[in-house]
Amino acid sequence: MFRTLLLGLCLTAPLLAAQDKVTWVRYRAGGQVRYGTLDGENIREVTGDLFGTRRPTGRVVKRAAVQILAPVEPSKVIAVGLNYKSHLGERPAATYPGLFAKYPTSIVANGENIVVPPDAKNLHFEGEMVLVIGKRASKVPKESARDYVFGVTIGNDVSERDWQRSDLQWFRAKASDTFGPLGPWIVTGLNYDDLLLQTRLNGEVVQSQRTKDLIFGVDEIVSYVSQYVTLMPGDVIYTGTPQTTKAMKPGDVVEVELEGVGVLRNPLVAGK
């Protein structure tokens, strides 16, 4: 009984304390979209506002019996480019985060297909740690930026390199439908500044680096973005990809793993 009461108190807090590691799952069951906390193979349902007041309902479902959805429906999907020295090559590091936008319609959940457009000839993976914003953030100082991060999830900033080079902007190269795999869930209470990030293509490790190697860390990113754009609860920021990338094709399977979070796995299929 005491454990249940303690969990209920934690869930009604606006944001969890840094030491509380909880895995938050967004899923569909009985035709309705719900949130819950992952407990082994079970999901314990919560009701209310994920980013505000919430409480456990007492209902428990098997993870295998529900559809796991992308963990949030963001109003904004922001990404940081060239944020690991290992990805820069011979280019000099920037003095401030280089930002671009993806679209919410680019997001697909764990297990869903990345659809390769017929005219896409050079589609690359970019495994990344993704920040999930927990409360409205505008002109936030770096010193308090961490208070606005609800947790982290995993992202794949799918990128068509030829389009990046030839187009006026990265509209289709970065933001086409299915170019933003996200999930499988959000984890709070991790040390976001030092997590192992790995990408595998058809089982082969193709990227491996720790988030401590980010040029611009979590606090700097959130503070900088908030100087120009008001971040809302549920918005996400892809923090950048390390090392080199290479082309993918229909039939491939790409997996991005983030320490303490899990694995984001997506197959590639040919579009029509």
Question: For each of the chain's 272 residues, which pLDDT tens digit applies?
Answer: 334 434 444 444 444 344 589 999 999 999 999 999 999 999 999 999 999 999 999 999 999 999 999 999 999 999 999 999 999 887 888 899 999 999 999 999 999 999 999 999 999 999 999 999 999 999 999 999 999 999 999 999 999 999 999 999 999 999 999 999 999 999 999 999 999 999 999 999 999 999 999 999 999 999 999 999 999 999 999 999 999 999 999 999 999 999 999 999 999 999 99
Say how many CA atoms lie within 13 Å of 261 toward its Cβ.
34
Which pLDDT does position 15 carry in this prediction? Answer: 40
Residue 196: predicted pLDDT: 98
State the amino acid at position 272 in one-letter form: K
Joined tokens for residue 48:
């209310």
Question: CA torsion angle for 235, 205, 24, 36 (degrees, to 10)?
Answer: 120
List CB contacts of 110: < 8 A, sequence separation 6 or more: 68, 70, 181, 183, 184, 263, 264, 265, 266
Question: From CA 222, how far away is CA 42, in angstroms rounded?
Answer: 33
Do residues 232 and 133 touch, judged by C-beta distance below 8 A?
Answer: yes
Q: Terminus-to-terminus CA distance in the chain, angstroms?
A: 55
Report pLDDT for 137. Answer: 98
CB atoms within 10 A of CB 44: 17
CATH class of the domain defined by 77-270? alpha beta
What is d(CA 74, CA 179) in angstroms, rounded to the nearest whole number?
15
Q: Give all strands (DSSP E) within the chain, no chain letters.
A: 22-29, 32-39, 42-48, 54-62, 67-68, 77-81, 98-102, 107-108, 114-116, 123-124, 127-133, 149-156, 159-160, 180-188, 196-201, 204-210, 236-238, 247-248, 253-258, 262-270
Which residues of the chain form CATH 2.30.30.370? 2-68
For tokens 């899923």, name the residue. 27
Pick the CATH number of 2-68 from 3.40.50.10860, 3.40.190.10, 3.40.80.10, 2.30.30.370: 2.30.30.370
Give pTM, 2 decimals: 0.93
> Which residue spans of the chain are classified as CATH 3.90.850.10?
77-270
CA–CA gap between residue 234 and residue 72 (Å, rounded): 6
Sign of CA dihedral 153, 20, 229, 52: positive
State the pLDDT at residue 90.
Answer: 78
Q: 3-state DSSP call for residue 7?
A: helix
Q: Cβ distance 66 to 43 under 8 Å?
A: yes
